[in-house]
Amino acid sequence: MQATLSTAPNRAMGFLLFIAGMGGLLYGIDVGIIAGALPYLESTASVAWKLTAQQLGFIVAAVLLGSVLSSLFAGALADLVGRRAAMVLAGALFTLSIPLIALADGYLPLMLGRLLQGISGGLIGVVVPLYLAECLHARHRGRGAALFQLLLTIGLVAAALIGLFQAQTVDAATAAAQSLAEAQRAAAVFAAKDHAWRSIFWVCLVPGLVFTLGGLLLSESPRWLARKGRTAQARAALLRTRPAAEAEAELRDIELALSPAATANAGAGDRLLSRRYVLPFLLACLVLALTQATGINSILAYVVTILNQAGLPGATANMADVALKVLNAVMTVVAVVLVDRKGRKFLMMLGTGGIVVALLAAGLLFRSVEGEQADISAMLQARAQGDSLVLRLDPATLQALGGTSGEGAPMQLSLAYSYGPFTNVQSRRSDDPALPELRLAREDTVQADSVIGAFFRRLHLNPFADPAEGASAPLRIEQAHLSAVPPATHGWQVALAICLFVASFAVGPGVCVWLALSELMPNRIRSNGMSVALLINQFVSTVIAAVFLPTVGQYGYATLFFYGAGCALLYFLTATFLLPETKGKTLEEIDAHFSR
Residue-wise pLDDT tens digits, 455-474: 444 544 445 566 777 777 88
Report pLDDT for 157: 79
In this prediction, residues 88-99 reach a mean pLDDT of: 92
Indicate the helix (H) or strand (E) that contains 475.
strand 475-484
Q: Does the CA dihedral 202-206-209-211 come out positive or negative?
A: negative
Q: Answer yes or no: are the C-beta atoms of 65 and 189 closer than 8 Å.
A: no
* Distance separating alpha carbons of residues 173 and 424, to the nearest angstrom: 30
State how far the alpha carbon of 370 is from the alpha carbons of 91, 310, 362, 486, 544, in Å.
43, 10, 12, 10, 21
3-class SS of residue 249? helix
* Distance separating alpha carbons of residues 180 and 115, to the nearest angstrom: 39
pTM reported for the whole predicted model = 0.67
Report pLDDT for 378: 84
- SS3 assignment for 175-202: HHHHHCCHHHHHHHHHHHHHHHHHHHHH
Question: Do the bridges between strand 422-429 and strand 438-440 make them parallel or antiparallel, or are there none, so unpaired?
Answer: unpaired
Q: Lowest-pLDDT range, 131-135, 439-443, 590-594? A: 590-594
Q: Answer yes or no: are the C-beta atoms of 230 and 55 closer than 8 Å.
A: no
State how far the alpha carbon of 6 is from the alpha carbons of 10, 11, 19, 313, in Å.
7, 9, 21, 55
* Distance separating alpha carbons of residues 392 and 394, to the nearest angstrom: 6
In a 13 Å sphere around the CA of 268, the CA atoms on its Cβ side amount to: 0
* Distance separating alpha carbons of residues 243 and 220, to the nearest angstrom: 18
Report pLDDT for 352: 93
DSSP code per residue over 21-71: HHHHHHHHHHHHHHHHHHHHHHHHHHHHS---HHHHHHHHHHHHHHHHHHH
Q: Answer yes or no: are the C-beta atoms of 564 and 359 closer than 8 Å.
A: yes
Q: Lowest-pLDDT range, 255-264, 327-336, 377-386? A: 255-264
Q: Lowest-pLDDT range, 45-54, 376-385, 498-507? A: 45-54
Q: What is the pLDDT of residues 61-88, one digit of tens each?
A: 777 778 778 877 887 788 888 888 999 9
- At the fourth CATH level, which superfamily is domain 7-218? MFS general substrate transporter like domains (1.20.1250.20)
CA 25 to centroid of chain Cα atoms: 13
* pLDDT level of residue 1 (50, 70, 90 thresholds): very low
Report pLDDT for 451: 44
48 versus 509: the higher-pLDDT residue is: 509
Q: Answer yes or no: are the C-beta atoms of 235 and 215 closer than 8 Å.
A: no
DSSP code per residue over 381-434: HHH-BTTBEEE---HHHHHHTT---TTSS-EEEEEEEEETTEEEEEEEETT-TT
* pLDDT level of residue 351 (50, 70, 90 thresholds): very high
Q: Answer yes or no: are the C-beta atoms of 475 and 440 closer than 8 Å.
A: yes
Report pLDDT for 257: 59
- Class of domain 273-430+476-596 (CATH, top level): mainly alpha
141 versus 225: the higher-pLDDT residue is: 225
* Distance separating alpha carbons of residues 495 and 308, to the nearest angstrom: 10
Least Cα distance to 313 among 168, 499, 503 occurs for: 168
* Distance separating alpha carbons of residues 563 and 71, to the nearest angstrom: 26
Q: Is 138's pLDDT higher than 70?
A: no
Q: Which residues share a beta bridge with 483?
A: 412
Q: What is the pLDDT of residues 268-301, one digit of tens each?
A: 445 555 556 677 778 878 888 898 889 887 887 7
User: Which residues does 556 contact at the CB level (< 8 Å), separation at least 6?
Assistant: 366, 367, 370, 414
* Distance separating alpha carbons of residues 117 and 91, to the nearest angstrom: 9
Q: Lowest-pLDDT range, 291-300, 520-529, 573-582? A: 520-529
CA 527 to centroid of chain Cα atoms: 23
Q: Is 5's pLDDT higher than 50?
A: no
Q: What is the pLDDT of residues 410-460, one digit of tens each?
A: 787 878 888 877 777 777 777 766 556 778 877 777 765 554 445 444 544
User: Which residues does 45 contact at the CB level (< 8 Å), separation at least 6?
Assistant: 51, 56, 107, 110
- Which of the given ranges, 262-266, 486-490, 547-551, has the highest pLDDT on average? 486-490
* pLDDT level of residue 187 (50, 70, 90 thresholds): confident
Q: Is 362's pLDDT higher than 90?
A: yes
Indicate the helix (H) or strand (E) that contains 295.
none
The angle formed by the CA atoms of residues 515, 517 and 518, to the nearest 5 degrees, is 70
Q: Answer yes or no: are the C-beta atoms of 303 and 324 closer than 8 Å.
A: yes
In this prediction, residues 487-508 reach a mean pLDDT of: 90
Q: Answer yes or no: are the C-beta atoms of 552 and 545 closer than 8 Å.
A: no
Report pLDDT for 361: 95
Mean pLDDT of the chain: 77
Report pLDDT for 500: 95
